[in-house]
A and B are shown apart, each in its own frame.
Chain A
């Protein structure tokens, strides 16, 4: 009357739908929490999953409750040691129940709800509503992407795409049409034949019967060979056709100043910004090229590892980086086929006169054909107040102020907590409309 069922192989994630509903509901709070947690994470841990604590108000489930601090009631507790009837026990402060559960004990305040976000959820929330602006140039020239599209049935194909239902249906129809004798019919005949053969001395009628059955069986056998159970004619495969997909080719140039004037703190800020940018691109755009260029008084293209983790120093000539970028772009990324993006981070100090050269390079040569140029100035924390006026700033900043182009943006970062808002500002989805 009892039985066991092994459910271990059942599909997992039954509560995934519930989780998505929960994340959706607490979206704003989670976003804030994710943003906050970004400040506390190191460059390396940026993209890991992690604990999130959100205010529980947004996800509270209120019920009618009796206020514990009202009226009269009695309770019974175990473990009396020296109380006697009529004793008075002073209530603990803050009105908490005697010896009851102390909410603060469990490591989180009463008003917050802590849980873990996976890496994917974390990044999704992180980069929600962000996109590369002005992504327009599409080209079919370099088609690498095909999408497979269903295209009915075919008679040739690989065994993996065999359509069993169609195949069996065809086979069944053909067998009916050709009158293929079934195994059941044959077995019945054979039974009858065996029964007859078991008769010790058969009479003529039985012998005749036997002969006719044998003949019938032979005929059936012949028909069966002639009309097989499954014929190559029956077989159908699901057909797929490749369909070219328009690709938008994009390249992001990351230009970072690693000169001596950039302190450890400034470099860390810049790296965090690029790390965020890199994660964003990886996550949102499947096929995108990222070129890392770092510069001191001369610029060089480096790989991701070197860009984020190596330490090198020297003087500063910003224009070298722009020239290097220009060179690589001319060599590899034709402007009519690629969407070109540039993000530049610097403390804004460069050799005197170089800033003018940068502006000239940008306005005359780059901005006409690139999609977006974002300049991020890394400030000293103390300078933030001094430079609250957008017109005041380091040399490069002041020089860039003269650029007036819808594809150009400049902004400043002084503290880790500035990074995310600035990032959002630069890549907000509706930026285009706002600018227009």
Chain B
């Protein structure tokens, strides 16, 4: 097929990139993404950056704006050393769930790599962010950048006003509880951010108009009567047990000053924003990898990229989806790119060319032929755990040679529960899906009581499943942070479910 490719249909002929070529590639990818795959995306904002800027972006969760904190500096120092010594390469791209969708491309990439990255990030991830239910319901793509801008300035202002150490103390403590700062079951109050933002803007404007240097520090330190009343109402409305520790502290802590509550809120909002990403690693990367694989092959089929480029692409694609086996020194768990891509490729096969086994397992979609819509439906309505339960096929399990182990801490051996055979498929599928269920892998910690009228003791409870207790060392450290935010006694109990 490539023999028929005419030279003049090629998007580019050498490996150096320039903006003109990038634009041509982007247009070609967009044509396939929108008209063939039928993806639904945010506007793209593609930024070309240097490797140093990529390291910068790494250290702050990939966000273009971030408040200042030592932990980001620590991550930067680590990443930079690893990169300088050649232990680890840099990601080819970072993409941000915002509208417009911001994608970073590294200037070192070759033209083929840029095309791959555009297909991967600007269409794959972008579509996933815009359509997946978790992102749609739990994050606010339009306002995240505005919010970050606010957060950054607010924290800088607090540092000026109250000193670095004070701010750091609160941020450290809030960071330690970040995992417990999300709504898992209730949907977070929509648009709280922007509403709050407007309030703050209004307050800032009021301050500006009635500027008086003597009173300048006061609004942050004391809340007005109406603010306090509103907060107390919110506290009363909290129904215990409350899963969102940071929310509870922000509202009910008897000790924090208003600006400190605001810091806790900022950390909580960041945590909430990243929560969907944690639950959709396999799907998100799978979606992006599937998309770039499809688009690049289609470009080649249409004669828009050369045989040389497709080989270069295949080389990096196969290292992205490489899955070392469990006894390989490189093994560090299942590669989300590999699993996601294999499952999605297999969905296409099940839809177009099913075996008998597939008809038994997936009676709804086997042989339906319409793989585009089946995949789009999966991308929109599933997260890793449910996607695996629904779509992990015997073919993929066989292909990966999967086996399930039971690990009982009291025994000196693992028991092989199931292997990739007829008897074991279902158990492997259940077991694997549990590994991606954040509800099962993260400890379930909730506020069960706060004696606000009495000695103000905060009672927190960890519900223990299957005897899986909290790690003692980190538990003590985190409770210290919790102490700091609450200001009074904190009791953490572990209770068997």
Which A residues are within 8 Å of any B CB, using their own CB? 1-8, 10, 12-15, 17-25, 51, 59-81, 83-91, 98-101, 105-106, 113-116
Cβ of B420: which chain A residues have Cβ within 8 Å of it? 80
Q: Report the minimal beta-carbon distance from B87 to chain A, rounded to whole angstroms.
A: 8
Picked from B19, B73, B81, the residue with its CB within 8 Å of the CB of A20 is: B73
Cβ of B415: which chain A residues have Cβ within 8 Å of it? 86-88
Docked CA distance A73–B417 (Å):
11
65-82 of chain B: CB within 8 A of chain A: 68-74, 76-78, 80-81
> How would residues 321 to 361 of chain B score, 1 for a CB under 8 Å from any chain A CB and 0 otherwise?
00111111101111000000000000000000000000000
Is B441 interfacial (CB-CB < 8 Å)?
A: yes
Q: By the criterion CB–CB under 8 Å, are B56 and A77 in contact?
A: no
Cβ of B149: which chain A residues have Cβ within 8 Å of it? none
15 A-B Cβ contacts within 8 A? A2-B122, A14-B53, A17-B68, A21-B168, A72-B408, A73-B407, A75-B405, A76-B334, A76-B403, A77-B403, A78-B334, A79-B324, A79-B331, A106-B87, A113-B78
Cβ of B52: which chain A residues have Cβ within 8 Å of it? 12
A100: nearest residue on chain B (CB-CB)? B332
Contacts A14-B53, A59-B70 given; does A4 touch B23 at CB 8 Å? yes
Picked from A2, A90, A115, the residue with its CB within 8 Å of the CB of B45 is: A2
A15, A22, A75, A79 interface centre (most CB from chain B within 10 Å): A15
A117: nearest residue on chain B (CB-CB)? B77
Picked from B49, B53, B81, B469, the residue with its CB within 8 Å of the CB of A114 is: B81
Q: By the criterion CB–CB under 8 Å, are A91 and B424 in contact?
A: no
Q: By the criterion CB–CB under 8 Å, are B74 and A74 in contact?
A: no
Cβ of A3: which chain B residues have Cβ within 8 Å of it? 44-46
Picked from A17, A20, A61, A86, the residue with its CB within 8 Å of the CB of B416 is: A86
Q: Report the minimal beta-carbon distance from B334 to chain A, rounded to whole angstroms.
A: 6
Cβ of B424: which chain A residues have Cβ within 8 Å of it? 85
Q: By the criterion CB–CB under 8 Å, are A79 and B327 in contact?
A: yes
Docked CA distance A77–B402 (Å):
6
A82: nearest residue on chain B (CB-CB)? B419
Q: By the criterion CB–CB under 8 Å, are B467 and A7 in contact?
A: no
Docked CA distance A389–B496 (Å):
64
Docked CA distance A51–B84 (Å):
11
Cβ of A101: which chain B residues have Cβ within 8 Å of it? 332
Cβ of A10: which chain B residues have Cβ within 8 Å of it? 49, 53
Which B residues are within 8 Å of any A CB, using their own CB? 19, 22-23, 26, 30, 43-50, 52-53, 55-56, 59-60, 68-74, 76-78, 80-81, 84, 87, 104, 107, 122, 164, 168, 172, 175-176, 178-180, 323-329, 331-334, 400-409, 412-421, 423-424, 428, 431-432, 434-435, 441-443, 445, 462, 464-475, 477-478, 481
Picked from B48, B401, B435, the residue with its CB within 8 Å of the CB of A8 is: B48
Picked from B43, B80, B179, the residue with its CB within 8 Å of the CB of A116 is: B80
Q: By the criterion CB–CB under 8 Å, are A80 and B401 in contact?
A: yes
B22: nearest residue on chain A (CB-CB)? A4
Cβ of A64: which chain B residues have Cβ within 8 Å of it? 179-180, 442-443, 445, 462, 470-471, 474-475, 478
Contacts A8-B49, A59-B74 given; does A65 touch B471 at CB 8 Å? yes
Docked CA distance A315–B159 (Å):
62
Picked from A69, A81, A105, the residue with its CB within 8 Å of the CB of B409 is: A69
Q: By the criterion CB–CB under 8 Å, are A81 and B77 in contact?
A: no
Cβ of A15: which chain B residues have Cβ within 8 Å of it? 55-56, 59-60, 72-73, 76
Cβ of B23: which chain A residues have Cβ within 8 Å of it? 4
Q: By the criterion CB–CB under 8 Å, are B325 and A89 in contact?
A: no
Q: By the criterion CB–CB under 8 Å, are A84 and B402 in contact?
A: no
Q: By the criterion CB–CB under 8 Å, are B76 and A72 in contact?
A: no
Picked from A1, A8, A83, the residue with its CB within 8 Å of the CB of B107 is: A8
Picked from A72, A88, A99, the residue with its CB within 8 Å of the CB of B331 is: A99
Q: Report the minimal beta-carbon distance from A59 to chain B, rounded to whole angstroms.
A: 5
Q: By the criterion CB–CB under 8 Å, are B481 and A79 in contact?
A: no
Cβ of A2: which chain B residues have Cβ within 8 Å of it? 26, 30, 43-46, 122
Cβ of B462: which chain A residues have Cβ within 8 Å of it? 64
Cβ of A69: which chain B residues have Cβ within 8 Å of it? 409
Picked from A6, A72, A90, the residue with its CB within 8 Å of the CB of B407 is: A72
Nearest 8 interchain pairs by C-beta? A79-B325, A22-B73, A71-B467, A71-B468, A18-B73, A2-B44, A115-B77, A62-B477
Q: Report the minimal beta-carbon distance from B172 to chain A, rounded to whole angstroms.
A: 8
Cβ of A72: which chain B residues have Cβ within 8 Å of it? 406-409, 466-468
A8, A13, A18, A88 interface centre (most CB from chain B within 10 Å): A18
Cβ of B403: which chain A residues have Cβ within 8 Å of it? 76-77, 80, 83
Docked CA distance A63–B464 (Å):
17
Docked CA distance A382–B334 (Å):
58
Contacts A21-B70, A79-B328, A88-B413 given; does A61 touch B76 at CB 8 Å? no
Q: Report the minimal beta-carbon distance from B481 to chain A, rounded to whole angstroms.
A: 7
Docked CA distance A2–B123 (Å):
11
Q: By the criterion CB–CB under 8 Å, are B414 and A67 in contact?
A: no
Q: By the criterion CB–CB under 8 Å, are B470 and A66 in contact?
A: yes
A3, A76, A87, A106 interface centre (most CB from chain B within 10 Å): A76
Q: Report the minimal beta-carbon distance from B482 to chain A, rounded to whole angstroms.
A: 10
